Structure 1
Amino acid sequence: MREPIVIVEEGDGPIVATAIHDGHALRAEVAAQMALDDATRLREEDPFTERIAAVVPTRLIATRSRFEVDLNRPRDTAVYMSKADCWGLEAWCKPLPPELRTRSLAEYDAFYAELERVLRERVRVYGRFVVLDVHSYNHCRDGAGCAADPEANPEVNVGTGTVDRARWGALVDRFCGDLAGCGLDVRENVKFKGGHMSRWIHETFPETGCALALEFKKTFMDEWTGIADDAHLARLARAVASTLPGLTESLR
């Protein structure tokens, strides 16, 4: 039996973590059409983000590659159809059959249905919730060993582009301060402002849900070889864990 598109762990508390680009697997029919090798796909995915998200008791971890279906894009662009959709890469050996795209979008719908179920349960039990949407980003696109501009590439970019600041501003500031207190360069909206999932959460739960899109610079791995720095990953996970009491307090 094929693995579901999302693995859900449900624990206590009003905080939810997601790692929606952690997955690397492809359905067999998608793999048969894929023109990219594993290493190229992995470089554009967010490997090891599940290990950062794991400090949150309730979490949703995507199992499939974003090249099968991108859960952080609007539904009509969630399946990459051209180079413009995926960093200039030619993803497919030939044009995708419509029925394959339809099946991929069914997986997209299944993910969002499960996400909505989990979040509605948080609202029922706790009244409000925060989603930590864990991602990572490449900073050595010019090749291994490049020196990326640190001013333009914070260690943690917190995307708050669709956050209602009037409602959630104090919570956001507390979170960023707590994370920066762990010795990390944490800044808002420098590289990314958050994607479709954050927007969907804020539109679906305008009064009860806050989504923070966390983009960790891939200093915790070699983005060209795919090898992780386990100690660095553990430090990042501990840093995120340190923010949970403040988030919980801010939701009260």
Structure 2
Amino acid sequence: MLDQTGEKRQHVDEDGWWTVHRGDIPIVGTAIHDGHGLRADLRSLVALSDDQRLREEDPYTAYIIQDLANRIIVHRSRFEVDLNRARDGAVYVDPSQAWGLSVWRDALPRGLHERSLVLHDEYYRMLRSMLLSIERRHGGFIVLDVHSYNHRRDGPDATPSDPAGAPEINIGTHSMDRSRWADVLETLLNALRRFEFRGRRFDVRENVAFQGRGEQTRFIHEHFPQTGCAIAIEFKKFFMDEWTGEPDFEVLEALRALTASTVPGLVKALDARQ
């Protein structure tokens, strides 16, 4: 695995929960599934290999948002606790919650289950506090909730998913009051669609592969209904080999530049609403 500078990682942060960067703009980027770390008391209980876990995590999403002044990067694996699930489903206990994978060798002891949920509770306390601060400073904010998704689930040599149902960039807006935030959403979509890479533009569509039904966007829209716009962005894993984990840094650099390029327009859109 590589860090945000492209250098080989020497270790995974097993103790840190997340890293928060704070700047003076109303745009926030999050990479809540970027992490691969596991608590020490869980490692021997996990039935999955590191490669199996990595395949369902969102590596390099922290890299994509690293030029945003406000960003949250989670270091713990979604297989410890999934911060984008509601609390009662945030720890995978059944294969139906985890792409058919049996995560644990045996039933997870209740005490360890509850310990994992502490991270879920503390994350949302931290997130609400941070967003309240940005709201006080700027009057409103936009959260770019960045994820990635697999499109070669049948194997490394199998035919990838039909592009008709798998855009390179999928925007999810399920929990959003779309009429209230239409101007912000259109600003983002236009910026993403204008960007050129290798002589073409990316395939950007709304609510195709995913609809943005995650807990983080729901939480933000519940707690900040008038001032917070949270947009789920799913990048298809065309920037890496999802089976080996090998990145294509030319594509990643383009996605990094693309994400940074949306900020001026989004700030302007927010300012126009004041």
TM-score by length of 2: 0.90
- Give the drift of 1:173: 0.8
Q: Residue deviations 1:42-66, cap 9 Å, x none? A: 0000000000111211111100000
For the pair 1:30 / 2:48, whether they are aligned, the reply is no
Number of residue pairs aligned between Structure 1 and Structure 2: 252
More displaced 10-residue stretch of structure 1: 41-50 or 146-155: 146-155
Out of 129, 140, 153, the residue aligned to residue 117 of structure 1 is 129
Which of residues 188, 211, 214 in structure 2 aligns to 1:193?
Answer: 211
Cα distance in 2, alignment partners of residues 205 and 28 from structure 1? 36
Matches within 5 A, 1:25-174: 25-145=37-157, 146-174=159-187
Alignment-mate amino acid for residue 217 of structure 2: S
Distance apart, 1:2 and its partner CA? 5.7
Cα distance in structure 2, aligned partners of 1:28 and 1:35: 14
Q: CA RMSD in A?
A: 1.1
Deviation for aligned residue 1:165: 1.4
Please report how far the alpha carbon of residue 143 of structure 1 lies from its aligned counterpart in structure 2 after TM superposition: 1.0
2:244 counterpart of 1:231: no
Matches of 1:225 and 1:94, distance apart in 2: 28
For structure 2, the 5+ residue unaligned runs are: 1-12, 196-200
Question: Is residue 7 from structure 1 mapped to residue 25 from structure 2 by the alignment?
Answer: no
- Residue 219 of structure 1 corresponds to which residue in structure 2? 238
Q: Using the TM superposition, give the Cα deviation of residue 242 of structure 1 relative to its aligned residue in structure 2, in angstroms.
A: 1.0
Shift, 1:134, TM fit: 0.5
Secondary structure of the 1:167 match is coil
More helix by share: 1
Unaligned runs of 5+ in 1: none
**TM-score normalised over the length of structure 1:** 0.98
Write the deviation string for residues 186-232 of structure 1: whole angstroms up to 9, x where unpaired.
10000111111101100010000000100000000000000000110
